[in-house]
Amino acid sequence: SPAILWLRQDLRLADNIALEAVSHHLFFAVYIWDDEDPWSPGGASRWWLHKSLLSLHRSFQERGVQLILRKGKPLQVLKHLVQETKACAVYWNRCYEPYVIKRDQEIKSSLKQEGIFCQSFKGSLLTEPWEMQTTTKGAYQVFTPFWNKLKEISFARPLSVPDLQGFKPSVFSESLEEWHFNPTLWGRGLEEIWTPGEQGAWDNLSGFLNDGIQSYASRRDIPSGQYTSRLSPHLHWGEISPTQIWHEALLSCGKDSLPFLRQLGWREFSCHLLFHFPHMPFQNLRVSFSDFPWQDNPDHLKIWQTGQTGYPLVDAGMRELWHTGWMHNRVRMIVASFLVKHLLIPWQQGKEWFWDTLVDADLANNAASWQWVAGSGADAAPYFRIFNPVLQSEKFDPHGLYIKQWVPELQALNSPHIHSPWKASAQILEKAGVTLGKTYPFPLVDHAFARQRALDAFAR
Ligand code: FAD
């Protein structure tokens, strides 16, 4: 009787341990849209998932393997499939969201009770979150010692694509089109930039290894141009594994790749934190933040979301996010700091917007990063260190190239005025065709005022 490969965030053929294990059987694959998942993917991620499943479907089809799509409670769906196909085993790669861990444990014990063999594997991390322990056998809460340990591990070589013995069960598959994950208008901007799927992931990686990784350390903070790998959505959906990236980077430029690999370390660290502190997506990791005087302000939130704050770099970032489903890391830090410290809006509200609009939205990375910026997280930036959006802009986008790309109404302004148009003379603004309050907003808050207000709130 056949086996079932249950795909989740491992939408690839190579270096897929569950696929390797199931390939010893006749098998078919299933992707289940869990409609009870409290963290079901947001809009941009659903767009990605749609495209990625199409790509995987094609790869499986070429090898005679059927990919079945079903919506519902995973346990029920798997039980139905077992009944319909007389399958004897289910294999999957692990995910680490708290809800998923609990759900999968229940599924495993329930299927085992019915005599179905179940096995899960490490699929999306370099090390399991429970494998990394401090000298006192606890969880890490500081990144540097975590990284020092991780970088010394020599990871097994990634697996290649196994020979597959496809099985065509006579069961129905739902249609991807009917899941409506592919918004026509919004999707157009995403389509210009991204090629979801395993091939797209490898194209990105090889482009980056040929031209990017050598200068990663010196250029990774520059938001104009493509100086980082842009592998984050591919990694989130498991179209490529961190082990594959680790090996390829070391092979291509040895120890020089460490500044880049360190970022994969941050990804592992976020997941480690989520595993050990499952309340991280909702609650401050530092309890001293529990009485912080946040301000609920839906109008300011909307202004931030739509990139109309009057701070050009912040607005450029928020518009890049809306148009492409991605934002440069340095700019993510600046816009997040602006929301939390300049506007005093709770980090959870920013995290939710990112969740819906990022193609790489990832529970662990998103929550850990927002808490890092807010100062409430593990090993976080101190709250009193408040980014000045103008100085950041002058430093990391000195010629305003990034701003000109995403805030075209300021295109005719040059440095230094493009970083703070309200400081430019009436004559300069007029020449550039900028009318503050009309073609581009005045700053939503004054930096010095907002900084002091945040510091006072923190002191309280
Ligand atoms: P590269 O610089 O090429 O790094 C390679 C890989 O390392 C990335 O693909 C990513 O998987 C990982 N990585 C890089 N930086 C970080 C980091 N700071 N923390 C954890 N992992 C990292 N990343 C997400 O993948 N999903 C999110 O939902 C997410 N939300 C964020 C929210 C905020 C407020 C901030 C400040 C950062 C967030 N990040 C998130 C981290 C980071 O911004 C992105 O991973 C990175 O910009 C992706 O671009 P890249 O693939 O070119 O990264």
272 CB-contact burial (10 Å; exposed 0-12 / middle 13-18 / buried 19+): buried
Query: Torsions phi, psi of 138, nearest 5?
Result: -105, -175
pLDDT at 379: 79
Kindly report the protein residue whose alpha carbon is nearest to atom 34 of ligand 1. Answer: 370
How far separated are the first and last CA of the chain, in Å rounded?
65
273 token code pair: 């934190």
CB of residue 263 inside a 6 A radius of ligand 1: yes
In this prediction the pTM is 0.97
| Cα–Cα distance, 419 to 405 (Å, whole number) | 14
pLDDT at 201: 98
**pLDDT of 281-307, one tens digit each?**
999 999 888 889 999 999 999 999 999
pLDDT at 290: 85
pLDDT at 247: 97
Dist. CA 25 → ligand 1 center (Å): 37
Question: Chain-wide mean pLDDT for the chain?
Answer: 95
Separation of CA 179 from chain center: 22
CB of residue 232 inside a 6 A radius of ligand 1: yes
pLDDT at 206: 96
Kindly report the protein residue whose alpha carbon is nearest to atom 8 of ligand 1. Answer: 232
Q: Average the pLDDT over 264-270 and give the result.
A: 98
Long-range (24+ apart) CB contacts under 8 A made by 297-303 are 297/343, 297/344, 297/345, 300/343, 300/345, 300/444, 301/339, 301/343, 301/345, 301/349, 301/353, 303/441, 303/444
- Is residue 181 over pLDDT 80? yes
- Ligand 1: residue of 48, 280, 369, 379 to mutate (most ligand atoms within 8 A of CB) is 369
Task: Indicate the DSSP class of residue 212.
Answer: T
- Ligand 1: residue of 329, 373, 385 to mutate (most ligand atoms within 8 A of CB) is 329
CB of residue 357 inside a 6 A radius of ligand 1: no
- Ligand 1: residue of 96, 263, 324, 328 to mutate (most ligand atoms within 8 A of CB) is 263
Rg of the chain over Cα atoms, rounded to whole angstroms, equals: 23
pLDDT at 145: 96
- Is residue 182 over pLDDT 90? no
| Cα–Cα distance, 210 to 317 (Å, whole number) | 27
- Could you tell me the pLDDT band of residue 380, with boundaries at 50, 70 and 90? confident
Name the residue with higher pLDDT: 369 or 186.
369
Of all residues in the chain, the percent with pLDDT exceeding 90 is 89
pLDDT at 11: 98
Q: Average the pLDDT over 349-374 and give the result.
A: 97
Name the residue with higher pLDDT: 378 or 375.
375
Q: Sign of dihedral through CA atoms 184, 42, 107, 65?
A: positive
Ordered structural domains, the chain, with CATH: 3-123 (3.40.50.620), 125-155+198-276 (1.25.40.80), 287-459 (1.10.579.10)
**pLDDT of 64-80, one tens digit each?**
999 999 999 999 999 99
CB of residue 228 inside a 6 A radius of ligand 1: yes
Residues in the chain: 460
pLDDT at 277: 96
CB of residue 241 inside a 6 A radius of ligand 1: no
pLDDT at 377: 87
pLDDT at 288: 86
Window from 155-169, 203-217, 233-247 with minimum mean pLDDT: 155-169
Q: Which of 174, 178, 199 is nearest to 58 (CA)?
A: 199
- Is residue 90 over pLDDT 90? yes
Contact 12, 336 (CB under 8 A): no
